[in-house]
Amino acid sequence: MSREPFKKISLLGKADDPGTRLTVETLLKALTERDYEVTIEQRCAEQIGQGHKARTLQLSEIGDWADLAVVVGGDGNMLGAARTLCEYDIGVIGVNRGNLGFLTDLDPDEVMTPLLAVLQGDYTIQERFLLNTEVRSNGSVAGQGSAINEAVLHSDKVAHMIEFEVYVDDHFVFSQRSDGLIVATPTGSTAYSLSGGGPILHPNLDAITLVPMFPHTLSSRPIVIDAHSEIRLRAAYDNDLLQISCDGHVRMAVHPGDEIFIKKHQQTLTMIHPLDHNYYHVLRNKLGWGSRLF
Q: Which residues form the catalytic set? A: 75
Number of other residues whose CB lies within 10 A of the CB of residue 99 = 10
Provide the pairing of β-strand 91-96 with 68-73.
Answer: parallel
Nearest Cα to 220, choosing from 182, 262, 186, 269?
182
Distance of CA 221 to the CA centre of its chain: 24
List C-alpha distances in Å: 210 to 12, 162, 281.
32, 16, 26
The size of the chain, in residues, is 294
* CA triple 241-184-61, angle to 5 deg: 90
Dump strand ranges (E) for 80-170: 91-96, 123-137, 140-147, 150-155, 162-168
